[in-house]
Every structure is written in structure tokens, then in C-alpha cells.
Structure 1
Amino acid sequence: MARPSTVSTNIDFDKPGKQTGFFNIPHSPHEDAWGATRIPLCVIKNGEGPTAILMSGNHGDEYEGPITLGEIIRDLDPGMVSGRLILLPALNLPAALAGRRTSPVDGLNLNRTFPGDPIGSLTQQITAYVSDHIYPLGDAMLDLHSGGSSLDILPSAIIEPAPTAEHRQRNVAAVLAFDAPLTVVIDNLGDPRTSTATSVRAGLTTVGTEMAGSGTVSHVALDICRRGVRNVLAHLGILPPAPGSERRHADQAILRIPGPPGYVFATTEGVFEGEHRLGTMVEAGQVAGRIHNLREPWRPPEVLHYEADGMVYGRRQPGRVTPGNCCVVVAARYEGEL
């Protein structure tokens, strides 16, 4: 049952055709006594078929997803659709306009606030509306991420774990249909407050992505994202298969981040020098990098080591680090049940 909410929208989710507009959240900062934050929303509906929710801009410094969804909104002929698309191309609009991972309004990471609070801060109200009003309309959800301004990540499609074999198989099939160069199981250390974990709890077939990062736009990752989204929509039966859409990565191994040992964290302040490029196979105990001390340059660098075997999947982009910053992420071969 949906919680009471002050959010409003000019979109009729059941109306055929293409509609663009907003959902509006009352917001009363110093500059605007009776204002509203307007989150862009598009619905494309035609005929019978499933509903897919396409989300990006969850973090405001991740760009391949918003570009891809903007293109779909502008270019997709509703007559090609069998079912319904609900597109949220800049879900965390304040963060997207600021180019930041977190909202400049309340400082929150939207992807750690699900299922939200309809009377909470602005970010919490956004996730409450998605959880209570958008997810119940859907059969599937795609959340398009990249590494943002702090990480560079190998372009990949992400499997969100699910509690039942049937749901896991739905998620895996949709993620493999995306056909990214890598497929990785990521559970965010079991955090239930993410968009994908909440989508799974709602019963939706769920697909995530990590499309490069470094706070810029990768042409390679953008092409993967464009093609992958359409592949998943074809897999769901919402769009017809595109010519030449045969899987390019059918024989790939599925990887996973092996819990806390998969992350190499900074232990001191300084400048991080990574030891290996993305895609390098490494072993636990190997040197992962060094942190150079700028305050006392006569001190030897602090040496960091890997705690897991696997592939270098992500690397910190800014050189400056403080204790606790994620410097390197390792992904290992997935050996669990799918």
C-alpha cells in the first residue's frame, strides 16, 4: 500500500502514446517559498505487453545512462513498443545538475535511501515516490550507472541477487541479454537501501550497469549502454530485436565482487599510485598500489595489497585520497548458484 505523499505529476501512466513531463515535489528553500523540484519523467505506451522502468541519473556524476535514455525519449516511435516504458533519465536531478554523486540539497546519496520517506528530505521523497508509485507499475527495472567521478570501472552489466531461484534466473537472463563485455554480481555488501535491491523486493526483473566512469563520457561505454538497453527491451518483448543484435559476449564468465576482500581502501592521506591497469589479473598479497605522503615527502609510501584473487575491475580516478577511500576493486569468478 502506497504511503501518503505530496508528490504530483501531469503524466497519465495508462494513456497510449508518448508523454513527457515531471513528477513534482513541493520544496521550500530560502530562494522559493512555495516552489517544487521537478523530476523529468516520460511514459511511452502502446498495445499490450510488460512495463519496463528505465532509470538513470541516480548519481549525478554518471552520464552514459542519462544520454541513452534521453535519446530513447526523443527518438523512439511509440508504434515500435509493445507494452510500456517508464523513463526516469535524471532521477536525482539536483545532483545531476551539480555533477555530483550526492544531492546538493540534503547531502544524501539517493542510492542509499530506498525505500525512502514521503515526509523526509527531498532525496528521501524521490525514492519514496519511486518505491511506492513507480515500482508497482513495473515488470522489469534497468538502473544505468557508471563509476562516477571517483572510479573508473570496466563496462559491465550487473546481476542483483534475488531470494528465489526463479527470480535469480529472470535477473540473470535479462542481464545476459544486455550483452556487456563483463557480467558481475554485485550486492553492495548486502545493503538493502539501493534501487536494485528495492526493485528485487518488489518482484521486478532487475538489471544494473556500470558504464566506465572517471566523471566523463566514454564513447565505448555509451555504445555498450545504447545497445544493451535495447537488447533487454527486446528480451522482454517490448521492442523488436534490432538487426545484428546477436550476442557478442555469449561465452563470458560471470564475475562477482567477493565481499569486503574485493575492495582496497586507503589507509592514510596522500596521493594514490595504482599498480595495475583495469582488466589485469591479480592475486591476494600482491601490491595494489602506494600512497605518497605530501606533507612529509621524506617518508616512504604506504603500500597497499590486494586481499582477493581476481581481475582489477575498478580504480580510483582522483589521485588524492583520505583514509577509507576506495582505491581498487577486484572481481573474481562467480562460483555460486544462478
Structure 2
Amino acid sequence: MTSPRQKPTPRASSAFLTVDPEKDGKQVGFLMIPHSPHDDAWGATRIPIAIIKNGSGPTAILEGGNHGDEYEGPIAICDLIRDLDPGRVQGRLILMPANNVHAVIAGQRTSTVDGLNFNRTFPGDPRGTITQQISAFVSDHILPLGDAFLDLHSGGSSLDIIPSAIVEPTDDPGLHKRNVAAVQAFDAPMTVVIANLGEPRTATATACRQGLVTVGTEMAGAGAVSLEALKICRRGVANVLDHLGIVARDKPEPRRGDGQVLELPGTAAYVYATADGIFEPFHANGEKVSAGQPAGKIHCTWDPTRPPEMLHYAADGILYGRRQPGRVRPGNCCLIVAAPYRGVLS
């Protein structure tokens, strides 16, 4: 049996929208959060938002720019804002391409205003810092409007990840089944269950707690726009909107994924730097690896008398993601291993 939706009680907030979520047609405006820094006494942070509503049907919320150095998702969302004819919509789309807006403008993972990682602030604080206020408004006022949530990520500037669609775990068996169906409809080259080591402060974890069908992505990364990943993202978003019955595809697309579902096997999935230096990986993304196998070396080139430090894998599987910058410090994530999913899919 599916649990009832757990909609939060909205908390008092000074934030407001310049668009009306209940109005038909296409509107493009902003979520406005009063912001009073040194040079702007009564200013506001503006987070772009578009509403496309027509007829009856479900509501899908599309988020991009959760991290400011992840590009394919925001581009795909902006395409929809500019190009989608409202007449093709049956229901409602809420399109937010740059939620962590200060980070998006700077092209970095975290906010330049308060230094916070937006995706570790949910459910936010409507009286907190700017990032906490954005996540609070999304949690209290945007997610409760939705039936489905697409959170479009990539590896950002620090990771290069195999393009994939992500299942957010949930304890609700009915929601889990719907999540898996929607993620498989996205039809990425790879489907991966990612629990973020049980982290509850992410946007997708929050969406699941509120009962929304939830789809995540990891679209390449490496601090650039991947042409192939952008094509996968655009096609996958169209697939999910068709699957939800909101925007029908002009014609069916043949499936391209192999149907395999992987997961990150807990802490063993991650290979962390143990020394200060330059990381030399031994394998390319997609290669099979095994626990105990040498994974790479960390070189201290400014001290040539010091031998390289060897890193090893802690899990069997395939190399799913690899650090992009060569320079590492202790604790940096260098490699990520994905293994066959051991859970129940339906």
C-alpha cells in the first residue's frame, strides 16, 4: 500500500513568486528572496522559474542548477522554457533551471554568498542564509505542488561520471516501484541506485519523503558540456514527461539502455585520497575492477624522494566515476565503483 503524501506545513517566509502556479499558459518569472547585502539595502535574490500549464493532468517539477558547475540539465530545462508549446502539455510543468543561482552564475558547486551546498540544506530554513531560504521555499511551496520531481545533475567540475539516471531509495514500496519505472523510462545508458550513504538533506530525498515520483541524473561532468550527455538528457527528459502523460512524444523512441541496474555499494564504493599530491588513475570509466586491486597512485612531485602512495578498490564492479582535477588532498573522492543492484526493483 502506498503511504499518503506527507506535505509539509509551510513555514513563515518573506520569499515570493512573480508567477502564478495556477494560471494556464506559459509564464516565466522569478522566485524572489529579499536579500540585503552591503551594496543593496532592499534588494532580492532572483531564482528563475517558469510555469507551463494546460488542461488537467499531473505536475512535474524539473530542477537544474542544484550545483552551479553542472550544465546539461539546466540547458535542457531552458530549452523547454523557450520552445515548448503550452498546447502540448496535459497538466503542469514547473521549470527551475538555476536553483542554486549564485553558484550557477559563478560556475561553481557551492553558493558564493554563504558557501553552502544547496543539496545538503533541505528542508532548509526560511529565516536562514540565502541557500537555506531557497531550499526551504522549494521544500515548503514548490514540491507540494508536484506529482513528480526530476533533479538533473552531472559530475560537476570535480568528477567525470558515466551518464546515468538515478533511483533515490525510499521505504515506501509503492513509491519505489514508481520511481524505478520513471527512471527506466528515462532510458539512460546506465541506471544506478544512489543512497548518498543515507543522506537525508538532498532534494531527491526530500521529494521522496513528500511522496513525489523522483528521477535523478548524473550527466558526465568534468566541468564541461558533454554533447553526448546533453543528447541523453534531452531525450531522457522527453521520455519521462511522456511516461508521466504530461507531454506526449511525437513518435515512440526505441529503448537504448541495457536494462541493467547498478548501485553504489555503501562506503566501499568510494576511493579517497590518502595524501597530498597528484592522482594517477589506472582505469577508465566503465572498466571492470575488483576489491583489493590497485586503483591509482598519488605522486608528490615536489618531493621526488617520496615514493607514490598506492590506492586500492574496496568493491567489485565497474568504474562509475573518476576525479577530474589531478591535484588531490586527503579525503578527496578519486574514484567511484558501481556494482549490480541487490535490492528489489518492483
Q: TM-score, normalised by structure 2?
A: 0.97
- Residue 244 (structure 1) shift: 4.1
- Residue 252 (structure 1) shift: 2.3
| Structure-1 separation of matches of 2:189 and 2:63 | 21
Task: Output the aligned Cα RMSD.
Answer: 0.7
Give 2:148's aligned amino acid.
A
Show the counterpart of 2:160.
152
- Answering whether residue 12 of structure 2 is matched by residue 4 of structure 1, we say yes
Give 2:34's aligned amino acid.
P
- Residue 312 (structure 1) shift: 0.2
Query: Residue 337 of structure 1 is aligned with which of 328, 339, 344?
Result: 344
Query: Residue 269 of structure 1 is aligned with which of 245, 253, 276?
Result: 276
- Answering whether residue 319 of structure 2 is matched by residue 312 of structure 1, we say yes
Give the SS at the match of 2:12. coil
Give the SS at the match of 1:20. strand
| Structure-1 separation of matches of 2:72 and 2:97 | 10
Give the SS at the match of 2:70. coil
Show the counterpart of 2:333.
326
- Residue 246 (structure 1) shift: 2.6
| Structure-1 separation of matches of 2:282 and 2:259 | 26
- Answering whether residue 248 of structure 2 is matched by residue 240 of structure 1, we say yes
Identity within the alignment, %: 66
| Structure-2 separation of matches of 1:109 and 1:248 | 33
Give 2:43's aligned amino acid.
G
| Structure-2 separation of matches of 1:311 and 1:28 | 48
Give the SS at the match of 1:315. strand
- Residue 205 (structure 1) shift: 0.2
- Residue 295 (structure 1) shift: 2.9
- Answering whether residue 110 of structure 2 is matched by residue 94 of structure 1, we say no
Report runs of 4+ in structure 1 exceeding 6 Å deviation: none
Show the counterpart of 1:142.
150
- Residue 243 (structure 1) shift: 1.9
Give runs of aligned pairs for residues 1-338 of structure 1, distance below 5 A: 1-249=9-257, 251-338=258-345
| Structure-2 separation of matches of 1:246 and 1:26 | 47
Give 2:140's aligned amino acid.
D
Gap regions ≥5 residues in structure 1: none
- Residue 162 (structure 1) shift: 1.1
Give the SS at the match of 1:65. helix
Residue deviations 1:204-234 (CA, integer Å, cap 9, x gap): 0000000000000000000000000010000
Give 1:263's aligned amino acid.
Y
| Structure-2 separation of matches of 1:248 and 1:296 | 48
| Structure-2 separation of matches of 1:28 and 1:163 | 41
| Structure-1 separation of matches of 2:275 and 2:131 | 31
| Structure-1 separation of matches of 2:285 and 2:52 | 38
| Structure-2 separation of matches of 1:46 and 1:298 | 68
Residue deviations 1:45-86 (CA, integer Å, cap 9, x gap): 000000000000000000001100000000000000000000
Q: TM-score, normalised by structure 1?
A: 0.99
Give the SS at the match of 1:220. helix
Residue deviations 1:105-163 (CA, integer Å, cap 9, x gap): 00000000000000000000000000000000000000000000000000000000111
| Structure-2 separation of matches of 1:248 and 1:65 | 19
- Residue 294 (structure 1) shift: 2.5
Gap regions ≥5 residues in structure 2: 1-8
Aligned pairs, number: 337
Give 2:232's aligned amino acid.
I
